[in-house]
Structure 1
Amino acid sequence: MATAGKVIKCRAAVAWGPNRPLVMEEIEVAPPEAHEIRIKIFVTAVCHTDLYFLYERGRGEGFPAVLGHEGAGTVESVGPGVTRFKPGDTVVPLFVSQCRECRFCRNPSTNQCDKSWSSQRPGKRLEVSSDTTSRLRCRGQTLLQYMGTSTFSEYTVVKEIAAAKIPDSAPLDKACLLGCGVTTGYGAAVNTAKVEPGSTCAVFGLGAVGLAAVMGCKAAGASRIFAVDVNKDKFQKAKLFGATDFVNPKDHDKPVSQVLAEMTNGGVDFALECVGNVEVMRSALESCVKGWGVSVLTGYNDSQDVSARCLQFLAGRTLKGSLFGGYKSVESVPKLVSDVMTGKLQLDEFVTKTLPLDQINEAFDLMTNSEGIRTVLKVSTL
C-alpha cells in the first residue's frame, strides 16, 4: 500500500485524562516495527472496561491514551519479521496475546500468554523490541496504547501475536464483539466454569458479558439459569439468550445469595460474576451450593480487594477467575467467527446501536445509563 513505511495522520478519540470526555483529534501513527502490524480499524465497540478505566477507576496513570479493545479491520502494513499476516488480511486485534512459545501458551490449561499487555502496568503497551515508544502521537505527546490495542482510532499498531486473522467475508460489526465481551462471557461458562448439562446457574450482571454468559450456560445444557440484575428491563433480553428466571436484589429484604439458596435447595451449581463489583463477586460465591459450587469472576476491577469468609471455601466452594473466557486468543477467535457465520453463535441481539466514531461520548452515556447492550462505532469507511 502507498502508506506502507510512512507515518499516517488519522482521526482518533483521545483520552487526555481521567473523568474527562474523549476528544476527537488528528493523531500520527508510526509504521510498525519488528513483529508488529498496522491495522486500519473499520468498526469498534465500547466495552465497560473502557468506561471503568476512564471514569470509575479513580487513578490518573495511563494517560493520555487511545482506548478501545473491541475492534476489527484490515492489515495496512507489516513490520520486519512478520510471518503471520500480509497487507489486506482481515483481523481482530487482541488484548490477550498468544505467542505460542512461552510456558503459558504451551500449557493447554491457560490462555495467560507471558507477552500479553497485562504482564505490564495497566495502560502500558508491551513492546517486542527494545524500543518502548508507542506508535501513537498527538500534539507532540506520546499516546499510550490501551490494552495494547487502541481501537478508538482509524489506524493502530499491534503486536503480530496480538491479532487473529478472520475471513474477509466475516461481518465486522459482529466480529469486533469477539475481541472481548462476548468471548469473555461465553467462555467463562463453557471453558472456565465448565457448566454441566442439567445444572443450575446464576449470572450476575446482564451487560454484554453477562448475556454472553447466559448464552454459554444454555449452550452447555444448564437446566435453570438465574439472571441477576437490579434493572428489571434486562430480563426480556436475558430470556432471548436462555435465562429461565430473573432475580432483582432490590425486590428482596435479604441477601440475594439467600434468595437463590431458597430457590435451589441450597445454592446454584455455578455462579458467574459479570459486573466488576467486589460486593457482587462475594455474593456470587456465596450463592453457590456447598460441596461443589463453582463461582467464576469475569468483571475487571484493579482498585479494590475481594473478601470472603474462609468457611465458604472450607465448605467446598471454588472461586476462579476468567480472562477472555479462557480462550487461547489467536487460534480461538477465528473458530468463534466461523460459528457466527454458520449461525451456531448468535450475535445480532448484542448490537443495539450503531454510531460514528465522533459520537463516542454518546456511546459512553448509553452504557452508563444501561441503554442497550453494545454500541458499535463506525471508525473508517469499508
Structure 2
Amino acid sequence: MGTKGKVIKCKAAIAWEADKPLCIEEVEVAPPKAHEVRVQIIATSVCHSDAHILHPQFKKALFPVILGHEGAGIVESVGPGVTEFKPGDKVIPLYTPQCKKCKFCLSPVTNFCAKLSQFKNPAVGQELMEDRTSRFTCKGKPVYHFMGTSTFSQYTVVSETNLAKIDDDANLQRVCLLGCGFSTGYGAAINVAKVTPGSTCAVFGLGGVGLSAVIGCKVSGASRIIAVDINNGKFAKAKALGATDCLNPRDLPKPTQEVIIEMTNGGVDFAFDCAGGSEAMKAALDCTTVGWGLCTLIGVAAGDKGLTISPVELIMGRTINGTIFGGWKGKDSIPKLVTDYKNKKFDLDILVTHTLSFDKINEAFDLMYQGKSIRTILTF
C-alpha cells in the first residue's frame, strides 16, 4: 500500500479527561516498529470496559487516550520481523495477548500471558507499546493506547502478539464482537465453568457478556438457565437465546438468591456474575448449591469495593473463580470462533441492536448507559 512506512492521518475518538464525552479528532498514526502491525479498523463496538476508564472513580486511567478494544479490521502494513501477518489480512485485535513463549502461554490451563501478568488490571498497563512510546499523536501531543488495541481509531498499531488472523470472508461488522464481549461470556460458560449437560445455571447481568454466557450455557446443554437483570427489556432477547426463566430483583419479594434457591431445590450448579458489584457477586455465589456449586465472576464495576465471603461458604463445597476473555488463547481460538459463527453454531447478529457511523460514538455510549442497547456497531 502507498501508506507503508508513512504517518497516516485519520479520525479517532479521544478521551481527553474523565467523565467527558469523547472528541472526534484528526490523529497521526505512526508506522509500526519491529514486531508491530498497523491495522485499518473497519468496525468496532462499545463495551462497558471502555466506559470504566471514563468513570471519575477509576483512578488509574491515563489521559488523553484512544479507547476501544472490540474491533476488527484489515492489516495496512507490518513492521520489521513480522511474518505471521501481511497487508490485506483480516484480523481481530486482542486485549489479551498470546506470545506463545511464556509459562502461561505454554500451559494448557490458562489463557493468561506474561505480557499481561505484570499488571493488576488488564484495562491499564498496555497504554504504550513495548518500547514505552505511543504511536498516536494529536495536536502535537502523544496519546495513550488502551488495552493494547485502541480500536476507536480508523487506524491503530498493535503488537503482533495482540492480533489474530481470521478468514478472508469474515463479516467484520459481526466478528468484531469476538474481540471481547461475546468471547468473554461464551467462553466463561464452556471453557472456564465447563457447564455440563442437564445442569442448572443462573446468569446475573444481561448485557453483551451476560447474553453470551446464556448462549454458552445453552450450547453446553444446560436444562435450566435463569437470567437476572434489573431491566425487563432484556428478557425477550435472553429467552430467544435460551434462558428458561427471567428475574428482575426489583420485582421480587425477597433477595434474588433466595428465590433461585427455592426455584431449583437448593441452588443452581453454575452461576455467572456478568454485572459486577458486590451485591450481584454475593447473590451469584449464594444461589449456587452446596456440595458442588460453582460461581464464575466476569463483571467488574467501577469503584466497587469487592466481595466479602465467609470461609464457611467455600467449606460447604462451593467454588468461586473468575475469567478474563473467557479462557480463550486468542491467536489460537479466535479464528476457530469465526468459523463457528460462519457455520451458525451461535448467533452474533441477535446481540447487535444498533449500527451507527463512527462519528456518533457518544450516542453509542448513551445507548449503553441507558440500557437501550446490547451492542452498537460503529463503522468508519
CA distance in 2, matches of 1:56, 1:221: 41
CA distance in 1, matches of 2:156, 2:68: 11
Per-residue CA deviation, residues 212-244 of structure 1 (Å, 9 max, x unaligned), is: 000000100000000011111211100111000
Per-residue CA deviation, residues 73-131 of structure 1 (Å, 9 max, x unaligned), is: 111110111111011111000000111100000000100011138737643427675x2
CA distance in 2, matches of 1:174, 1:57: 32
Match of 2:275 in 1: 275
CA distance in 1, matches of 2:221, 2:56: 36
Contact 2:127 2:147 in 1 (8 A): no
Match of 1:144 in 2: 144
Contact 1:14 1:64 in 2 (8 A): yes
CA distance in 2, matches of 1:74, 1:202: 38
Q: CA RMSD in A?
A: 1.5
1:48 positional shift: 1.1
1:307 positional shift: 1.3
1:52 positional shift: 1.8
Contact 1:282 1:306 in 2 (8 A): yes
Contact 1:46 1:363 in 2 (8 A): yes
- Matched position secondary structure for 1:184: helix
- 2:110 aligned partner, one-letter code: T
1:300 positional shift: 2.5
1:60 positional shift: 6.2
Larger mean Cα displacement after TM superposition, 294-303 or 52-61: 52-61
Match of 1:345 in 2: 346
- Matched position secondary structure for 2:157: strand
- Matched position secondary structure for 1:209: helix
Identity %: 54
1:138 positional shift: 0.8
1:265 positional shift: 0.9
- Matched position secondary structure for 1:190: helix
Match of 1:316 in 2: 317
Match of 2:53 in 1: 53
Match of 1:158 in 2: 158
- 1:370 aligned partner, one-letter code: G
CA distance in 2, matches of 1:56, 1:367: 18
| Residues 1:78 and 2:64 are matched in the alignment | no
| Residues 1:354 and 2:355 are matched in the alignment | yes
Match of 1:368 in 2: 369
Match of 2:295 in 1: 295
1:276 positional shift: 2.0
Larger mean Cα displacement after TM superposition, 303-312 or 339-348: 303-312
Match of 1:116 in 2: 116
Larger mean Cα displacement after TM superposition, 52-61 or 232-241: 52-61
CA distance in 1, matches of 2:246, 2:17: 38
- Matched position secondary structure for 1:234: helix
Aligned residues: 378
Q: 4+ residue runs of structure 1 moved beyond 2 angstroms? A: 55-61, 116-129, 300-305
Contact 1:125 1:134 in 2 (8 A): no
1:139 positional shift: 1.3
In structure 1, stretches of 5+ residues that fail to align are none
CA distance in 2, matches of 1:220, 1:228: 19
- 2:37 aligned partner, one-letter code: I
Change (3 A) 1:128 1:68: closer
Change (3 A) 1:212 1:142: same
Change (3 A) 1:77 1:184: same
In structure 2, stretches of 5+ residues that fail to align are none
Per-residue CA deviation, residues 304-359 of structure 1 (Å, 9 max, x unaligned), is: 32211221111111110011000111110000000111111211101110001110
1:372 positional shift: 2.2
- Matched position secondary structure for 1:354: strand
Give the TM-score, by structure 1 length: 0.96
Contact 2:53 2:61 in 1 (8 A): no
1:211 positional shift: 0.4
Contact 1:96 1:117 in 2 (8 A): no
CA distance in 1, matches of 2:294, 2:71: 32
1:290 positional shift: 0.5
1:279 positional shift: 1.8
Contact 2:127 2:146 in 1 (8 A): no
Match of 1:218 in 2: 218
- 2:243 aligned partner, one-letter code: A
- 1:91 aligned partner, one-letter code: V
CA distance in 1, matches of 2:351, 2:80: 38
- Matched position secondary structure for 1:195: coil
Match of 2:326 in 1: 325
